[in-house]
Structures are given as C-alpha cells and as structure tokens.
Amino acid sequence: MKIRTGFGFDVHRLVEGRDLWLGGILVPHTLGLLGHSDADVLIHAICDALLGAANMRDIGYHFPDSASEFENIDSKVLLRKTVGLIASKGYRIGNIDATVCAERPKLKNYIPQMQKVLAEVMNIDVDDVSIKATTTEKLGFTGREEGISAYAVVLISKD
C-alpha cells in the first residue's frame, strides 16, 4: 500500500455583498468571501491538500480563475471533481484534518454540518473529516476581520 500526505492553504478577503460559504454550507454573517468561485476557503484548502498529496499540482491549475465555467461555481463541485482526479491515479482518501482561521463568525456550531456535507461530497465517513476553528487573537488580517484563511492536511492511499 502506498500512503501519501498533502498540505493545503487558502485565504480570501471578506467583503460586503457576498454570501459566506465555509465547508460547503452557508454561514450567516454580514460579510462574505471574495473570489472567482464561491470562495469557500476550507474546501479550497482541502482540494489543494488532496491534489498535492497525489502530486497533481493545485486547485488553480485544474480550475483556473480565468475560466468562465468556474465563475461563481459551488466549491463542492470542485471538491467532487478533485476527488475524481485523485481517484484517476488510484488514490482514495484516508482522512482530512483542517483548521479555519476567522475572528468572526464563531464557527463551532457549524462544524458538525460542515463535516457531514464534506464527508458526503467526498464519499467518506464523517469521522474521517476533522474540522477545527480558531481566531488569531485579533492579530493580522484575520484579526482585523479582513479575511479568512484555512489549512488542511490529508492522507491518501492506494493499494
């Protein structure tokens, strides 16, 4: 069995007039994330981690922001496509461990729903999707509520 790990990171700016999508769910907030797609930083970090683990470059390579077909796309679609890409090389997901950095909104009550949605999209057990949330104690762009970032580590394997 071949086992590989991958790391992903993403960040998007918070702006008025956009919905806040995190982990595949709509989170009530006065601001949303700016991006070519729905700007779901958590899903984007997971996609990058999966692609990196399979040595398949990154999310921007496969789903460029210059392509109109990805404009305002639901990031769950990108995640499903990413799982298909790594499967084409024979890999399956072992587990995901991710952290979202946001001063506000508080995310702890949304994490179980995010885990459920992401597990369904990736066709894995909900217990294999760990999501944590933290603040930066009012430091940096996150602390000033200018943006939200996410980190993800994944384990993939093939026989």
For 36, half-sphere exposure in the C-beta direction (CA atoms, 13 angstrom radius) is 13
Distances (CA, A) of 84 to 21, 43, 77, 156: 22, 15, 11, 13
Q: Is 62 annotated as a binding residue?
A: no
Q: Judge whether 10 is annotated as a binding position.
A: yes
69 belongs to an annotated ligand binding site: no
- The amino acid sitting at 70 is F
> Which residues, 6 or more positions from 4, have their beta carbon under 8 angstroms from its beta carbon?
53, 54, 55, 91, 155, 156, 157
Instruction: Confirm whether residue 48 is marked as ligand binding.
Output: no
Residue 5 assigned to a binding site: no
For residue 68, say whether it is annotated as part of any ligand binding site. no
134 is in an annotated binding site: yes
Tell me whether residue 11 is annotated as binding.
Answer: yes
44 is in an annotated binding site: yes
| Residue 9 annotated as binding site | no
Q: Is 144 annotated as a binding residue?
A: yes
Q: Which position has the token pair 């995640």?
A: 79
Collapsing DSSP to helix, strand or coil, 15 comes out as strand
Q: Is 59 annotated as a binding residue?
A: yes
| 73: nearest Cα among 123, 39, 41 | 39
Burial per residue of 139-159, b for 16 or more beta-carbon CB atoms within 10 angstroms, e otherwise? eebbeeeebbbbbbbbbbeee
Find out whether 30 is annotated in a ligand binding site: no
Specify binding-site residues for a divalent metal cation: 10, 12, 44
- Per the annotation, binding residues are 10-12, 36-37, 44, 58-60, 134-137, 141, 144
